[in-house]
Amino acid sequence: MANTFTQIHVHLVFAVKYRQAIIQQKWKNDLYKYATGIIQNNGHKLLIINGMPDHVHILIGFRTTQSLSDLVRDIKQMTSLWINENKLTSQKFAWQEGYGAFSYGQSQLPTIIKYIENQEEHHKKKTFREEYMAFLRLFEIEFDEKYIFKEIE
């Protein structure tokens, strides 16, 4: 669209279903490359992707040609399908319902990029649940703790 200018940076966070630690070191980089392709094919700019065996952080330059919920749906659906088709886990892989999306200004990008780069070091001190709840509180997002994560049925 002519004369439309945006600069929107979004930090996405989502977990493996039941927060199971099943993203394996041997294929996580291929997963990240696959997710990067999905993001770029939808017209967005990947700034960084990293995570842990039970969750993923993605920082993107978001383009307003697609809704955020549609982008996250595409990433989660297509990566789940890719993991399952390639039989990378012994059980059916699925992502947890929902996601976190947090916005950042240009001047904040170096800090959040470093944070995402250093996930392994960060999680020596804090669990994913603690990290996620801290983001929700930092961004003053109202939530009911019992609905944050689905437990194993």
In a domain, 117, yes or no: yes
Helix axis angle, 25-41 to 68-85, nearest 10°:
140
In a domain, 152, yes or no: no
Domain containing residue 112: CATH number: 3.30.70.1290
**pLDDT tens for the chain, residues 1 to 153:** 577 888 999 999 999 998 899 999 999 999 999 999 999 999 999 999 999 999 999 999 999 999 999 999 999 999 999 999 999 999 999 999 999 999 999 999 999 999 999 998 988 898 888 898 899 999 999 988 777 776 665
Q: Give the domain range for residue 97.
A: 8-147
In a domain, 70, yes or no: yes
Quick one: CA torsion of 1, 59, 13, 81, rounded to 10 degrees? 70
Q: Per the structure, how many domains does the chain have? A: 1
In a domain, 52, yes or no: yes
Any idea what the Cα angle at residue 134 is, between residues 141 and 15, rounded to 5°? Answer: 90
In a domain, 35, yes or no: yes
Copy the structure tokens of residue 29. 């980089």
Report pTM: 0.91
How far apart are alpha carbons 83 and 47 in whole angstroms?
23
Q: Using alpha carbons, select from 52, 66, 60 the residue that is nearest to residue 130.
A: 52
In a domain, 112, yes or no: yes
